Amino acid sequence: MRATVMTFAVASLIVVAPSLQAQAVGQENASTVSAATQQTQRPGVSSDTIRFGGRTIPAGDTVTGPLLVAAGDLHVRGVIRGTAIAIAGDIVVEEGGSITGDAIAVLGSVVNPRGSVTGTARTFSTSFSWLEDVDQGPAPRRGTTEAMSLSLGWLVVMLLIGIGVLVFAGAYLDGVTDVLEQSFGRSFLVGIAGELGMIPLMLVVVAALCLTVVGILLVPFAIVAYVLAVAGFLTLGFLSVARLAGGSIGAGRGDARGRALRALVLGIAVFMGVWVLAAAFQWSPAISGVLRMIALAVTWVAATAGFGAAILSRGGTHRDAATKVGVDESAAWQTPTPITGVAAARKPVRT
């Protein structure tokens, strides 16, 4: 969080640097004329320009700007001669306080109940009071109606995605489903390995791209493409498991496409129905908690096995990825090439 605030501070300084520099030059010229006299007249003058974590200008003190405060509020009870800037915080000009220049709040607001701001008060975002360590208590528990709406909404979304994949990418879905039917256990183990290796593999790809100047420019696009590919494999794998589960329960009769659609819809309804059931018992924390744990475990197993099958089938393009090709030894004697130490079989002669 501190690094983010420092980044905002640097960016804001770059934006307002020209005006601050002009103001600082004018104040420096004026201060060189009567610096000793002003110091005598204002014993509370300060020149601390940048402060992190908030700051308060006490009543009777005068601070020469520009003044910048980051990750905290700036409370002005005295006088700021120049521009005041707050990054991720508010500028609060209290009674008796005064800012002779502009009051700029980046990711904050300017509050001026009784004080005075001679320049312009500019606000570039809302208040960031959530940065303060305030104990607001536990978050309110979601109601049963809201939980049901959320779970039913996800059910509809998954049904729409599944139908879309079946219509526009049915061949790839068939490929992943075939691998699942051939070797569910192997797909599950490969899925666990894939989940554990997702982040290390992404780091390796980024490190390889950083070896060249052109590769460094492609790093953001590579990360986005990698995340989309992983999300696509997970979705395709989960839909394949749902289709396989729905087909085992009962897909009915009809053509192949109709049976596939009914199996997919039934499987998605089964997996997402556990979440809907948990949402229905939202009023009971114990029952809802147990049902959510069951739903999470079932969903994770389905997504992991499907992810492994998608990896083995290379996104559904290789249906025989989990099939071990055997050698037909019955026709080995028919080879026309002699093998050393092996007598050639006599060719059958018709009588």
Distance CA 347, CA 328 (A): 19
Q: What is the pLDDT of residues 299-341, one digit of tens each?
A: 999 999 999 999 999 988 886 655 544 444 444 444 455 555 5
Tokens describing residue 141: 């528990």
Mean pLDDT by 10 residues, the chain (351 residues): 41 43 46 42 51 83 83 86 83 87 82 78 57 43 80 93 92 92 93 93 89 86 92 94 89 77 92 92 88 94 95 84 49 49 55 55
The predicted pLDDT at position 32 comes to 44
Q: What is the pLDDT of residues 162-210, one digit of tens each?
A: 999 999 999 999 999 999 999 999 999 999 999 999 999 988 988 888 8
The predicted pLDDT at position 73 comes to 85
Evaluate if pTM is beyond 0.85: no
Tokens describing residue 7: 């980044």
The predicted pLDDT at position 344 comes to 53
The predicted pLDDT at position 303 comes to 94
The predicted pLDDT at position 96 comes to 83
**Cα 308-310-316 angle, rounded to 5 deg:** 155
Closest CA to 45 of 69, 67, 23: 67
50 contacts 33 by C-beta, under 8 angstroms: no
Closest CA to 59 of 38, 44, 74: 44
Q: Over 208-267, what HEC string results?
A: HHCCCHHHHHHHHHHHHHHHHHHHHHHHHHHHHHHHHHHHHHCCCCCCHHHHHHHHHHHH
